[in-house]
């Protein structure tokens, strides 16, 4: 079982607030990912990281930022929350050389 954690699990917040979603993994995986998923829809890649100080934008990255200062930690920040950000956010990781991604439990975000 993968050891990957996300906090908070649920968040309700007002429009315009700054939000940081936390993701940590204890497996030493070098690659980490953030996905957004709406009910019944595909996972959309927001950001990914190949290692410390290495981040890349995905398909839905324009309104968020990430950082990778430590191998185990990959936080996602929304500078100004909007109702369109209401969704489930999933963090995943994998070890280089393996294509198998493991997901955290997710953060369900509601912006009012």
Beta strands 64-66; 76-78: pairing state: antiparallel
Of 11, 27, 43, 52, the one binding another protein (CB under 8 A) is: 43
Nearest to 74, CA basis, from 33, 43, 104:
33
How many positions of this chain bind another protein (CB under 8 A)? 18
90 binds another protein (CB under 8 A): yes
The rounded distance, in Å, linking the Cα atoms of 91 and 23 is 6
31 binds another protein (CB under 8 A): yes
97 binds another protein (CB under 8 A): no
Of 24, 48, 78, 109, the one binding another protein (CB under 8 A) is: 48
51 binds another protein (CB under 8 A): no
Beta strands 107-111; 10-13: pairing state: parallel
Of 16, 50, 79, 83, the one binding another protein (CB under 8 A) is: 50
17 contacts: CB under 8 Å, gap ≥ 6: 80, 81
């Amino acid at each position: 079982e993968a050891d990957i954690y996300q906090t908070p699990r649920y968040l309700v917040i007002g429009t315009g607030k700054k939000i940081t979603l936390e993701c940590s993994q204890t497996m030493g995986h070098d690659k980490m990912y953030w996905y957004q998923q709406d009910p019944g829809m595909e996972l959309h890649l927001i950001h990914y990281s190949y290692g410390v100080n290495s981040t890349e934008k995905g398909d839905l990255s324009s309104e968020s930022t990430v950082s990778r200062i430590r191998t185990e930690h990959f936080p996602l920040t929304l500078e100004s929350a909007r109702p369109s950000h209401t969704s489930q956010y999933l963090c995943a990781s994998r070890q280089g050389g393996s294509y198998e991604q493991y997901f955290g439990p997710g953060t369900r975000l509601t912006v009012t």
